[in-house]
Chain A
Amino acid sequence: MSDNTLPPSAPARPHVKARKARISLVWLVPIVAGVIGLSMVIHDFLNVGPKVVVSFLTAEGLEAKKTQVKYKNVVIGTVTDIALSDDRTHILATIELNQSATPFTRADTQYWVVRPRIGAHGVSGVDTLLSGAFISADAGSSDKTEKNFTGLETPPPVTFGERGKRFILHTDDLGSLDIGSPVYFRRIQVGQVVAYELAKDGKGVDIEIFISSPNDEFVLTDSRFWNASGVDVSLGAAGLKVSTQSLTSIISGGIAFREPNYSPDAKPAEGNAEFKLFDDQASALAPPDGEPKYIRMRFNQSLRGLVVNAPVDFLGVNVGRVVSVDLDYDPATGSFPGVVGAVIYPQRLGAANDKLRQQAGGGDEEEQTSRIIGRFVERGLRAQVRTGNLLTGQLYVAMDFDPKAPKIAYNAKARPLEVPTVGGSFDKLQEQLQAFVDKLGKIPLDDLAKNLNGSLIELQKTMKQVNGEVLPQMRGTLQQAQKTLGSANDTFADDSPARQQLGQAMEEVQRTARSVRVLTDFLSRHPESLIRGRSGDAAPGSYKGSSSSREIAPEPVQ
């Protein structure tokens, strides 16, 4: 086409022939199209990731070919198909994962549906209100891969790869704790409950908690955990004190932990370390009790008010608690003594326990304890039931040294250890009350009453007299006084003649005083007039005092 410079004659034909033989450039177009198409097919083929099937209880919010699978909000796959399982108890969602999402086929991968949720722990998944639910995934670390997964119904509390440590807590029962319940350290949430299960023997619950980094290093080897659920109300000398961890923990329960005030060589605990979960902070932070020792006491008195868990005091220190209150029968006396079983924790005696053990010498712990208590009994150790609260009649067991107590043979071999007793303080109180009542009974109440009766009659007579005679007279007198006051009132009324006369008299007195002043002035100027009589120019009437503030009348009126 571009050869228009050539002569148009002969060579044109062979030239056209040559062009025909060549492969036309136009074939590049379909070739390029084919290459593009092929490359896309290959790209797609390479990008097709693994397929997994996840079962859920319900397909609520899921849509085939629309619902996405996300990890950290990055789309890693799509639900391609939703079908019912064979037994129709759940649904099977087929998920096509991206090529890059191969780790999500690991056997311990977790899948769950993100829907809007409102619970005691807060609100989550609000964004899905508009966008619709999606499936969230969390890759595991297992080496094995899996094709079929069971989807979680609730989001897992801890995502894979989150740094932190897991710990196991042992407790008697779960209480109000649940998965997701917060774990507090100094009232700051640092972790949560991730799992719980019954202990292997069924005698307790193992709770798994997760403390996220960096707060996990605050869990020390001697940290104490306690159940921080609900409200703790205590009435003390400082008044009523209400203490909670947080509003959430009131509703949904929670766990708190901290180390005891004195923990000299505590190291950060290893992951999966096991701890005991206490019921409350006070018992959690109490020093460890150590091994309990079982003792038994016989009381020849009513044990009404002594209940299981009542404290056992030793010199005022709470060393244990009552575990059983039973009746026994003594055929010799025909009486029913009460048998009280109690556990004591020798470690609660602290330093005293250590020293006693050193002194007690060899033998196993049981023998040591027996020997120590034997020595105490020799020195007068006696158990006594005392009243802890007069209002409710609660009793507790107190162990004190009573040097005057009669000697009692101590059986060191008896198990459980037997601690001798003395009568309770309440018994003594009752005796004293009885004596007091007896004394009261001896008072001659009848005579007293007779005398009192006579006196009362006398008093009544006097009162009658007063009423009959004195009161009428009093009345007359009062009327008289009233009259007098009335006339006095009349006398001093504004328009009464007496008042007018009084006014006039006062004016008279005023005038008299004025003339006396004039006279004294005159006399002070003319003392000689006393002897010589009044001179003509010095008449008192002509005197005009310059210093006087008042105009003095020249001559008396009237």
Chain B
Amino acid sequence: MNGIPFAREHKVTLCHVCSYVCAEDDEACPRCESAVHPRKPDSLRRTWAFLLAGLIFYIPANTLPVMFTTLLGSSSENTIMSGVIEFAEGGSWDIAILIFIASVLVPCIKFLVLGMLLVTCQRRSQWAMRERSRLYRFIELIGYWSMLDVLVVALVAALVQFRGLSTIEPRLGILFFGLVVVMTMFAAMSFDPRLIWDAEVEDVR
């Protein structure tokens, strides 16, 4: 396009780990011996698989209670959404919005963006390629922030253990929520952003 040749044209490929330029046919980097391939192997399929797994886990993560609270004998189980609603009704709009963004909105955005990226890549769409790769970077960046919820529950459950007065225990929902975050992170990792740009040229593989 602008004169700089593609690596493929020189029959070379880049090592993912040490960025050494290897021959296209090399299976492993001659320098660091890590596996070498022009694109991440099976990228789209793996991303799809992790994305689907994450989506499936997202259902119990939201329907099952994540936390069991006992305060002076009155006990309650909260799901993520009921916690958000409780905070909102209690007047703590800031905390409610924070939890909502971190626990509900971010995973949703990740699903949508990854799904959109996968679909467009498979259709070799050339639409808004630069914005799409920016979106991908954004997804990678915010990915682990969703772990916040899991950490909060783990921390609170460990700290609030006043037998009889008040106890907080984690419930199954938080495990699924953690799995959702892990799955979406895997999905983001296994996605090769160079596939976005492959739409301009012949398929690499």
Contact = CB atoms under 8 A, between A and B. Distances in A.
Interface in A504-543: none
Contacts of A29: 49-50, 53, 183
A28 to B, nearest CB: 8
A487 to B, nearest CB: 103
Contact of B27 (A4, A26, A27, A66): A4
B53 A24 contact: no
A33 B183 CA distance: 10
B74 A12 contact: no
Q: How large is the interface on B (under 10, 10 to 19, 20 to 34, 35 or more residues)?
A: 20 to 34
Contacts of A474: none
A130 B74 contact: yes
Given A27-B49, A30-B53, A37 B35 contact: no
Nearest to B42: A24
B46 interface: yes
B183 A12 contact: no
Nearest to A3: B27
A127 B74 CA distance: 11
Contacts of A27: 45, 49
Contacts of A26: 42, 45-46, 49-50, 190
Given A8-B25, A37-B60, A131-B74, A1 B53 contact: no
A130 B70 CA distance: 11
A34 interface: yes
Interface in B18-42: 23, 25-28, 35, 41-42
B126 interface: no
A1 B27 contact: yes
Given A1-B27, A4-B28, A9-B25, A130 B73 contact: yes
B45 A37 contact: no
Nearest to B76: A66
Interface in B31-90: 35, 41-42, 45-46, 49-50, 52-54, 56-57, 59-60, 72-76
Contacts of A36: 56-57
9 contacts: A12-B25, A24-B45, A24-B49, A34-B56, A36-B57, A37-B59, A66-B76, A130-B74, A131-B74
Given A24-B46, A66-B74, 11 more contacts: A9-B25, A26-B42, A26-B50, A29-B50, A30-B52, A30-B56, A36-B57, A37-B56, A37-B57, A37-B59, A132-B74
Interface of A: 1, 3-4, 6, 8-9, 12, 24, 26-27, 29-30, 32-34, 36-37, 40, 66, 127, 130-132
